Chain A
Amino acid sequence: MTEDKFSPYEAMAAEEWPSDLGLWKNLLLGFIANSRLNLAAGIPETPMGELLVKMFARIAKARLEGKPIIMHPFNYGPELFYAMDLEPLMQEVFSVGLAPFHLNEPYIDLANQMGYGDNPTLCNAQRPLIATHLSGDAPKVDLLFYLSAPCNSLATTYQVYQHITGVPTFTMDIPYWSHDPSSPFYDEKTLEYMKAQYRDCIAWLEHQTHRAFDPEKFQMTMRRVNEARENIMEFNDLLKTVPCPVNSMESFSNYLTMVLSGGTQEAVEVTRWFRDYAADHARKGIAGVPGEKLRIAWPYTHTFFDRDLFPWLEQQFQAVVIMDILGFYNIPPHDVSTLEKCFDSLALGTLDFSMIHTCRGPAEFYIEYLLRFIEDYRIDCVIIPMQFACKHAYAVTKIAAEAVRREADIPVLIFGCDPYDSREVPSEEIRGKIEEFITEIVL
């Protein structure tokens, strides 16, 4: 094979890695192979393949060189960790990364065998962590950081992991209230509370890693976060164009970039690439989905095990999924001219992160996001693939759907499934429900 940009990573993987990085190495090689296959098939290249490959390589390098690795959940921007020269590892990359190939399912089965939860009770985004750890297939980490939101399921699995590994852990409490003075749910201490917790967190990190917090490096990191946020906000605005200038997968890329690389120059460049790509298409009137007929809001996560679902929707119905709930990264740039303002921005970014903003507080946070989204993006229908184990989201969808029908007068489909396990509700059944909904009700 000729040399390409992935060759150095492949060479790195050819070396001997610690046994707990075996699965990690397979993921790295899998993503390299996938990127090459896409190139060979003529699928337009985005920076995402390389971003993911670099992330896998970075973690491996950190592990091999003894750089502290800090595990964190899927709804958190790791900028503080980059600012403190730690290597962040987003845990759910396992469940999300393995799901399209059904390679997470053996770990779900193993969790069942170990007696750790079941599908309708504990979310399979985190549950396999216990199985991968106990079977020696999860990378060893030095520190753990997690939030109390958006769900108990996440906090429960991380808490169990904390106990069985003894890894030093910091948990950040996410308050219920809004930081926005115009909200009826505003509490004037919300932001201060978050900042106080960040001060505790930094003291904890300094103690654990024996590394001093560097205010200048932190400010530089937050300026990069701002630049990326600016790109994403412009991208989000461009998606309001009819037809939508990108396909159903692209908005997820910005979220993934920020959760994996937020605060790095790489994130600035990747988000800029997507903004420029969307702007170019919008300017030229190129549709992400040729002949766009339907614009769909998908206010929950992708069904990760079925990566062909959105392309199927596009081909079958000329329907574009504008954004899923994670892709809805809607954090404007903040004033970061002083250190104190940088902390404001860090705290606000945590409270408003994808799925945290919409799901941490009262039902109104979710409903208002959905209604606003429907209006701003000229949505024709809403599809909510509800995960059985997602208590906070499942128990709000019915009142949210009523609000959508009442306020926006468009149809809503809610169905139960497990986005991580193809065996619960298989692709065919999901497609059947969607097809029936679109043909019988929407069109």
Chain B
Amino acid sequence: MSISETFRQALSLPNPWIREAKEEGKKALGYFCSYIPEEIMTAAGLLPVRMRAPGCTDTPMGDAYMSPTTCGFTRCVLETASEGGYEFLDGVVASNTCDQVRRLYDNIRFKTPFPYHYFLSLPHTQSPTTLEWFAHELVKFKEDLEEHFQVEIGREKLQEAIKAHNHSRALFERLYDLRKREAPVLSGSEVLRFFLGSVTLPVQTFNAWFQKEIEELEAGEGLSKYRARIMLLGSHLDDPRFIELIEGQGGLVVTDSLCFGNRFFRDPVDETAEPISALAERYLYKIPCPRMSGAQAERIRFVMDQIRDFHVDGVIIQRMKFCPMWWGDAFVLRDELKKAGIPCLELEREYLVSGAGAIKTRVQAFLETLEGR
């Protein structure tokens, strides 16, 4: 089995690596957001697993408790939890990523409790004051993990974990450099599979395989048969099939602003600073997602830089239905892209990939527009 094929197995939850880690006595902790530092969980000897709901097909409980007008992701996770789909997890960690995840965490606690729950009050603004608060939150998180799991998370362990996760980030950086080529080495859907692997596998295992894969890719030929180079932005997206719908029409996704993408790996943690302060600094000041107030200009600048560096022909914004924050950002971005003369397509989607025909038709028309320029 090739490494790429191996990574495909990472899609399911639980997957063989989680089972293996559990058999070795390792505890697994589910977490919800790219603002929650994996390093602290890794340093505690835990396996951090990003929460997803890949097998969910229907959401009666999610609809009833979360309401039918909350996003499909939160409804699917609650549904999966209620069906025992996360029994392999020893706990769950959430933050006030958004109102919907905050309330999902409540509903999980009330209706389908895990053995361990933890919540991080993540600031919505970037300033020295909020940074100090966030560092305080991270110290509490570390101490709570130590107490609950009876482990010690010393400075050295944190530094080791930071190094390991920084190594992942550096590898993703190399991968993204390969996507800048005229013939990018990998499709966007394959890249997403690596991200899913990175948030599911033990970090050392992931790094070892990922490094080999990148070395092979560096030596290999790229993809030259595509109609346009696409930047993909938007809400939580963990299903490669959605990107396949775009790439199946000839639009090659070469870069992104996604939490399973650039927002996940850019900006390494400072390895020379005091670990908790360094983590707080990195996570609070990383490429901001729309939950961060007052950071719109920074987000726009990031998108424009990516468009330039990755020679992007057009942008696709995918908004998960009922996500207020991404609607706000899409409204502003659409306008900024228009001013810059960059074609943009906005797609509303459900968490569970549906309406493939309509998506294909709209992407097809968009690609024709790009080709006609």
Contacts and interface: CB of A to CB of B under 8 A. Distances in A.
Contacts of B364: none
A122 B328 contact: yes
B325 interface: yes
A80 interface: no
Interface in B68-116: 69-70, 74, 96, 98-100, 102-104, 106-107, 109-111
Given A162-B296, A391-B99, A395-B100, A155 B124 contact: yes
Interface residues of B, number: 48
A441 B121 CA distance: 40
Nearest to A196: B129
Given A156-B324, A176-B96, A398-B65, A391 B103 contact: yes
Interface string A163-187: 1100001011101110000000001
B328 A120 contact: no
A189 interface: yes
B46 to A, nearest CB: 23
Interface stretch (A17-25, A100-108, A145-153, A292-300): A145-153
B100 A391 contact: yes
A277 interface: no
Nearest to B321: A121
Contacts of A197: 129-130
Contact of A396 (B106, B123, B130, B294): B106
A362 B293 CA distance: 21
A139 B161 CA distance: 52
Contacts of A312: none
A237 to B, nearest CB: 30
Contacts of A397: 67
Nearest to A153: B324
A409 interface: no
B3 interface: no
Contacts of A116: 327, 331
From B104, B110, B321, residue with most partner A Cβ within 10 Å: B110
B194 to A, nearest CB: 29
Nearest to B78: A395
- Give the size range of A's interface with the partner: 35 or more
Given A148-B125, A399-B111, 7 more contacts: A122-B328, A152-B324, A153-B99, A171-B124, A176-B119, A389-B324, A395-B107
A169 B296 CA distance: 12
A114 B334 CA distance: 11
B133 interface: yes
Nearest to A201: B129
21 contacts: A117-B324, A121-B324, A122-B327, A130-B331, A146-B293, A156-B290, A159-B328, A163-B296, A163-B332, A172-B125, A189-B133, A197-B129, A197-B130, A362-B106, A389-B69, A391-B70, A392-B99, A392-B102, A395-B99, A395-B103, A395-B107
A396 B102 CA distance: 10
A172 B194 CA distance: 37
A16 to B, nearest CB: 33
A386 interface: yes
Contacts of B331: 114-117, 130, 160
**Which of the listed residues A151, A155, A395 has the most CB atoms from chain B within 10 Å of its own CB?**
A395
A332 interface: no
Interface of B: 64-67, 69-70, 74, 96, 98-100, 102-104, 106-107, 109-111, 119, 121, 123-125, 127, 129-130, 132-133, 136, 140, 290-291, 293-294, 296-297, 321-325, 327-329, 331-332, 334
Contacts of A189: 133, 136
A158 B290 CA distance: 12
A395 B70 CA distance: 8
Contact of B67 (A152, A172, A177, A394): A394
Nearest 6 pairs of A and B residues by beta carbon: A395-B103, A156-B328, A363-B106, A176-B121, A148-B124, A392-B99
A254 interface: no
Given A362-B106, A396-B106, A117 B124 contact: no
A416 B332 CA distance: 29
Contact of A163 (B65, B127, B291, B297): B297
A320 to B, nearest CB: 28
Given A159-B296, A395-B67, A398-B64, A193 B133 contact: yes
Interface in A395-419: 395-399, 416
A157 interface: yes
A155 B66 contact: no
Contact of A151 (B69, B99, B121, B297): B99
Which of A120, A123, A173 lies at the interface centre, i.e. has the most chain B CB atoms within 10 A of its CB? A173
